[in-house]
Amino acid sequence: MRLLMNTRNLGLTCLLLWPFMALGAAAPLGLALGDDDEKGKEEEEEKESEPIPEEDKDAYFALLNADIYTGTGTLLRGAGLLSKNGKIVEIGYEILIPGRDYYADIEEDERDFRVEILDAGGMRVYPGLVAISSSGLTGASGDFRDSIDPFSSNMILGLAAGITSTGQGRAAVKLKRYISQDPPLAYDFDGVVLSSKTYASMSWSSSSAKRTLREKFTRAAEYLREYHQWQIDVKKDKELKEPKKSGVDGSTLEVLKGELLPRFRADERLDLLGIARFAQEFGFRPVIDGCREGWTVADELGRAGAMAILTARDRRDKGEELRREGGSSIENATLLSAAGVQVAIVPSSKGISLSGIVGRDIMHLTVEVDFAIRGGLSERLALDSITRVPARMMGISHRVGTLEVGKDCDLIVTDGDLLHYETFVQYAVVDGDLVYDKQDELYYAHIRPRPESSLAPEETLDAGENEGSQDEDEDDGDGDGDEDEEKEDDEE
Amino acid sequence: MMILNTLLLATSPLLAAQPAVPGGGTLAIKVGRAETVSDGTVLHAVILIEDGRIAVVGEDLPIERGIPVVDLGPDSVVIPGLVNAYSRQGMDSRGSNKSNPGLRASGELYPAFRDYKKLLEAGVCTLGLYPAGNGIPGRAVAVRTQGSTPAEMILADDVYLKILLRSSASSKSMITKGFEEADEYAKKEAKAREKWEKAKEKADKKNKKKKKDEQEDPGPGPFVAPQKDPKAAAFQELRDRELSALISIRSAGDFLHLFDAIGEEQFDFALRVPLSRETNLFLVKRELKELGCAIIMEPRLSLHPATQRQRNLPHEMVKAGMQLVLIPSSDSLDSHQKWLNDTGVLVGAGLPSHDALRAMTLAPAKVLGLAERLGSISAGKDANMLFFTGDPFEPSNKVKTVMLEGKIVFGEL
């Protein structure tokens, strides 16, 4: 309903009340009413029945006429996308939209669904960005479900930067904003946290830490071997007891079982090599945060199936005393990727800072990625590094990171190439809800304001058909009226 | 008018007998303008006061001979006595972080507090005093600002249960757990009752069968409900609408969390929102409109977040259909004395003055559950009235006379 209200300003084309769009649909209705009085009565009775509560309605969101970068390497030009209750149900061409292409003859207040249509003509659509780690984007701390601030201005800024999901502490959360609608909908608190435990933190910093780690992994591996043997033996001897779990570290066990990815913090070549060998020895895939000298040992890391979290613009020379290669390299991401290391990229500052040197905070994921591109990384891998790879690292790639049928409808609509520095996020959608519209927020609306004409091309309707369609006119009038009132209120 | 007339006549024989003294007994007051709050503005008003209560209010009513009349002149204005529903004036205990829904603020009432007199002189006739603390600090008490013993001061006890809600799991669980405990108690009580009924049935059967010479089985006696935990009790009372809540939140985010915590539960509550510089409550105007409850705020202009643009949030709340309740800008004597002036700033910024007056009188009286008794100038209510010469919101116009329950307690008529 919010979209209806803002129709003109948002440049959204609402086609809900397009009367008699399908003449075929109108004709049988007329016949039914004319022929069968009883049926007419029945319909009247139905009208008197109670309106369907807003929460019980199916929520559709449709996006039309966009160049969709699905994040899987595919580009669909001039395509559409439909989501139902927050999940993508269709991507492609000639998508049928309820309320427009079918069920168009049901009055709006009698529908058991609501639909928002966003015409993104001429714009690009990408999966919502995934920041592998950030701070302060949700206004929450610790228990995210119960402390999130759905009105946080940092959340709006995060969405403006294209981020729809982020790692915060150990958890992965969505930037679920609440925008008041008419009638109001309950906020989906349960949808805030994607995962409460996204990684197991491992330390490779000191010799004692390494020793402890080895002990933990040895014990966990031993337990797993015992457990597997027991699984075989118990078939023969049912009395056999399950092996004892004492002294087994829970997270380590999860890592060995492949349920959780371990995360190390390491930059130096020797540490990286050590981690790679350790991982190969025990058979798990390490995620290495930092990985500054990774390019010098890319092959080893690749063989160990490592993943890396990089800050692409990192600049640090190697120690002068070292004769080997070392320090940072702008080619780090390129060389690692070439060796099979999946790379996620994140700026050096994890929070939002609106002052100081521009372009280094979490709002500039795409700018950070540009440094990797300068070092030779392909644009496809660059996009991966801020979408599907971080999603994979956090174990949430089954829900976010790419635009595919069945995944969450988290996407951003941009006015140009996502990785271009001039590009703005025009809309952000989380779980099929439009939660950010550049023109509605105070932050960037004034910079290159959206030319309404190019965004919402006037629908070339048949003048004859459209004439006398009271409903549509009324609706337009209403929408603008509401919007104006709202504005007035705000000014007072 | 006829009805009022007869009413006046009817009361007259009684009055004629006793000579009326200003400050007690029966008195008719002629005022240029009466802001009744409940029935709008009455010009050339006549207010008849009898035994501390307002007997009649009307425009140019004829006054029976024998009733003393005070004519305050055409410039005089009368408004109801002010009600501050959310205060800790005269209370000095320190609260804890522990929830204590059974605690009553009336227990720490200190009638000798020297500022009560000054509050009354500033026009504040009624106070809602709440216990200090975080979480659920306890139950508030409504008092008149005069009296030498707690009993003389108290108008009503248990007027609301104060709850502080913040966006955090622990704070939210306070409410959910409270209702859960009430559920558990209800189960426990049902079980005990079942057990008691069985025992009683058994005894009854035995008594029926008994032979004449046998002694009667006394049975289990009257039903005794199991001991109630104060938390369970408070939430049960909320559910049964025997008690209402006053829930303090700070932001639009807290508001959503509040609803998440309440879930399906139904109970009466008022919202308290301390107005900070950038309170963003306007973001949930629609949701507030659906709720339509009382909202307690300071008379203060705030700013649109991240800008210097002024917002009159109290006015926005009135427009959203909320019952606005204003309190002094801080809980000090000074702020009480400037309360009308501070509210005048809101009126200057667009809040209609009748809404402003209601927010300081009848609306807070409702929060305290005393709307039947005070908060407006209408027949049957306590004669709590403030007299001015000119607009009460005009900073240069101070309260000239304060009447508490028919007695002049400050100034003179």
Q: Quick one: B150 and B294 in the same domain?
A: yes
Please tell me which residue, A30 or A448, carries the higher pLDDT value: A448
Looking at residue A482, its pLDDT comes to: 42
| Set of chain A residues whose Cβ sits within 8 Å of the Cβ of B347 | none
Out of B167, B259, B306, name the one closest to residue A149 (CB): B167
Q: Does A186 touch chain B (CB under 8 A)?
A: yes
Which whole number is the average pLDDT over A261-270?
95
Same domain, B269 and B358: yes
**And the tokens for B5?**
């007339």
Q: Which helix (H) or strand (E) holds A127?
A: strand A124-127
Contact B305 A153 (CB under 8 A): yes
Residue that terminates a domain, selected from A195, A213, A239: A195
Is A242 domain-assigned? yes
Task: Please answer yes or no on whether A182 and B286 come within 8 Å at the CB atom.
Answer: yes
Q: Give chain B's mean pLDDT.
A: 89
Whether residue B116 sits in one domain with residue B59: no
Question: Are A296 and A379 in the same domain?
Answer: yes
B212 touches chain A (CB under 8 A): no
For residue range A423-467, list pLDDT tens digits in order.
Answer: 999 999 999 999 999 998 888 888 888 866 444 444 433 333 333
Q: Do A150 and B305 touch (CB under 8 A)?
A: no
Give me the helices (H) in A123-202, please.
Answer: 144-147, 153-160
Contact B383, B43 (CB under 8 A): no
8 Å CB contact of A489 and B167? no
Structural domain total, chain B: 2
Q: What percent of chain B has pLDDT over 90?
A: 71
B253/A442 CB distance under 8 A: no
A410 occurs within a structural domain: no
pLDDT at A474: 38
Q: What is the mean pLDDT of residues A112-136?
A: 93
Disruptive mutation site among B171, B175, B257, B276 for chain A (greatest number of A CBs within 10 Å): B257
ipTM of the complex: 0.82
Cα B286 to Cα B296: distance, rounded to the nearest angstrom: 18
Torsion of the alpha carbons at A38, A44, A50 and A55, rounded to the nearest 10: 90
Residues of chain B contacting A487 with CB distance shorter than 8 Å:
none
Q: Which residues of A touch B315 (CB under 8 A)?
A: 492
For residue B364, give its domain range: 82-174+228-375
What band does A49 get if pLDDT is binned at 50, 70 and 90? Answer: low
Reported as a single tens digit per residue, the pLDDT across B170-188 is 999 999 999 999 999 989 9
pLDDT digits (tens, 9 = 90+) for A330-353: 999 999 999 999 999 999 889 998
Cα separation, B314 vs B87, whole angstroms: 19
Nearest chain A residue to B304 by CA distance is A490
**Any CB–CB contact under 8 A between B70 and chain A?**
no
Where is B356: in which H helix or E strand? Answer: helix B353-360
pLDDT band at A491; cut points 50, 70, 90: very low
Higher pLDDT, A36 or B351: B351
- Both A84 and A37 in one domain: the answer is yes
Residues A275 and A377 in one domain: yes
B6 exposure class (CB count in 10 Å sphere: 0-12, 13-18, 19+): exposed
Q: Do both B312 and B354 map to the same domain? A: yes
> Across the interface, which of B253, B290, B315 has its CB nearest the CB of A184?
B290
Nearest to A414 by CA among A404, A397, A429, A432: A429
Tell whether A233 is covered by a domain. yes
pLDDT (tens digit, 9 = 90+) per residue, B381-412? 999 999 999 999 999 999 999 999 999 999 98
* Cβ-defined contact of A148 to B283 (cutoff 8 Å): no
Span A143-147, mean pLDDT? 92
All residues of chain B having their beta carbon less than 8 Å from the beta carbon of residue A140 are 167
Q: Does A55 touch chain B (CB under 8 A)?
A: no
- In terms of domains, do B262 and B326 share one? yes
**Tokens 């509605």 sit on residue:** A440
Answer yes or no: is pLDDT of A485 > 70.
no
Query: A155 and A240, same structural domain?
Result: no
Domain of residue A165, residue span = 129-195
Task: Work out the minimum CA distance from A272 to partner chain B, whole angstroms.
Answer: 40
- A28/chain B closest Cα distance in angstroms: 40
- Tokens 């999603």 sit at which residue? A391
Nearby residues of B53 by Cβ (< 8 Å), 6 or more positions away: B380, B381, B382, B383, B405, B406
CATH number of residue A321's parent domain: 3.20.20.140
Provide mean pLDDT across the span B282-288.
91
Instruction: Let me know whether A207 and A159 are in one domain.
Output: no
What tokens does A313 get?
């613009």
- Residue A422 domain flag: no
Residue A1 pLDDT class (50, 70, 90 cuts):
very low
Whether residue A148 and residue B306 make contact (CB cut-off 8 A), yes or no, is: no
Whether residue A162 is found in the same domain as residue A248: no
Tell me, yes or no, whether B217 lies in a domain: no
Same domain, A234 and A324: yes
Residues in chain B within 8 Å Cβ distance of A180: 283-287
pLDDT given at position B7: 45
- A151 to chain B: closest CA residue: B253
Query: How many domains does the structure of chain A reveal?
Result: 3
Q: What pLDDT, on the 0 to 100 scale, is given for residue B401?
A: 95
- Read off the pLDDT band of A86 (50, 70, 90): very high
The candidate with the shortest Cα–Cα distance to A78, out of A88, A89, A92, is A92
Cis peptide before B218 (omega within 30 of 0): no
| Residue A413 maps to a domain | no
- pLDDT mean over A398-418: 96
Same domain, A486 and A444: yes
The residue of chain B nearest to residue A182, with distances taken between CA atoms, is B286
How far B152 CA lies from chain A's nearest CA (Å)? 44
What average pLDDT does chain A have?
Answer: 83
Residue B126 resides in a domain: yes
Which of A170, A195, A220 corresponds to the end of one domain?
Answer: A195
The answer to whether residues B304 and B411 belong to one domain is no
Question: A143 — contact with chain B (CB < 8 Å)?
Answer: yes
Contact call for B319 and A489, based on CB within 8 A: yes
Would you mind telling me the total number of residues written for chain A in this entry? 492
Closest Cα of chain B to A125: distance in Å?
A: 28
Tokens for A247, please give them: 């002294």
Note whether B366 and B388 are same-domain residues.
no
- List phi, psi (to 5°) of A236: -85, -45
Residue B304 within a domain: yes
pLDDT at B221: 78
Q: Is A273 found in the same domain as A263? A: yes
- The one-letter amino acid code at A451 reads P
Distance between CA A199 and CA A132 in Å, rounded? 11
Joined together, the tokens standing for residue A37 give 């009085």
Find the closest chain A residue to B290 by CA distance. A184
CB contact under 8 A, B251 and A151: yes
Inform me whether the C-beta atom of residue B168 falls under 8 Å from chain A C-beta atoms.
Answer: yes
Q: Which of A149-163, A442-456, B97-111, B275-289 has the lowest mean pLDDT?
A: A442-456
Q: Is the four-CA dihedral B334, B340, B344, B346 of positive or negative sign? A: positive
Q: Is B250 on the interface with A (CB under 8 A)?
A: no
Of the partner residues A140, A153, A180, the one whose CB lies closest to the CB of residue B284? A180
Q: In 3-state terms, what secondary structure has residue A236?
A: coil
Domain contains A274 = yes
Q: Per-residue pLDDT for B46 more than 80? A: yes
Which of B169, B253, B259 minimises the CB distance to A149?
A: B253
Is A492 within 8 Å of chain B by CB? yes
Question: Which one of A400, A420, A453 terminates a domain?
Answer: A400
The pLDDT tens digits for B115-124 are: 999 999 999 9
- Token readout for A486 is 């709202």
B236 three-class SS: helix
Q: Does B253 touch chain A (CB under 8 A)?
A: yes
Under 8 Å CB pairs connecting chains A and B tally to: 66
A154 phi and psi angles, rounded to 5 deg: -65, -30
Residue A408 within any structural domain of the chain: no
CATH number reported for the structural domain that contains residue B21 in this entry: 2.30.40.10
A151 three-class SS = coil
Q: Do residues B22 and B58 share a domain?
A: yes
pLDDT of residue A48: 54
- Give the domain CATH number at A451: 2.30.40.10
Beta carbons of A184 and B287 less than 8 Å apart: yes
Within a domain: A69 = yes
- Contact (CB<8Å) A182/B309: no
Q: In the beta sheet, which residues pair with residue A66?
A: A79
Contacts of residue B260 in chain A, CB cutoff 8 Å? 146, 187, 189
- For residues B237-245, average pLDDT: 93
Which residues neighbour B5 within 8 Å (Cβ) at sequence distance 6 or greater? Answer: B61, B62
- Smallest CA-to-CA distance from A114 within A79, A88, A85 is with A85
List, in order, residues 6 or more apart from A86 with CB less than 8 Å away: A59, A191, A408, A409, A431, A432, A433
**One domain, residues B400 and B353:** no
Together in a domain, A138 and A118: no
| For range B129-153, the mean pLDDT | 94
Q: Is there a single domain that holds both residue B111 and residue B148? A: yes
User: Which run of H or E residues covers position A134?
Assistant: none
Of A148, A180, A491, the CB nearest to B286: A180
Q: Residue B212 pLDDT more than 80?
A: no
Mean per-residue pLDDT, A36-63:
67
Percent of chain A, pLDDT > 90?
Answer: 62
Within an 8 Å CB–CB cutoff, is residue B292 touching chain A?
Answer: no
| Strands B154-156 and B141-144, bridge-based pairing | antiparallel
**Do A163 and A227 sit in the same domain of this protein?**
no
CATH of the domain at B137: 3.20.20.140
Report CB contact under 8 Å: A489, B304.
Answer: no
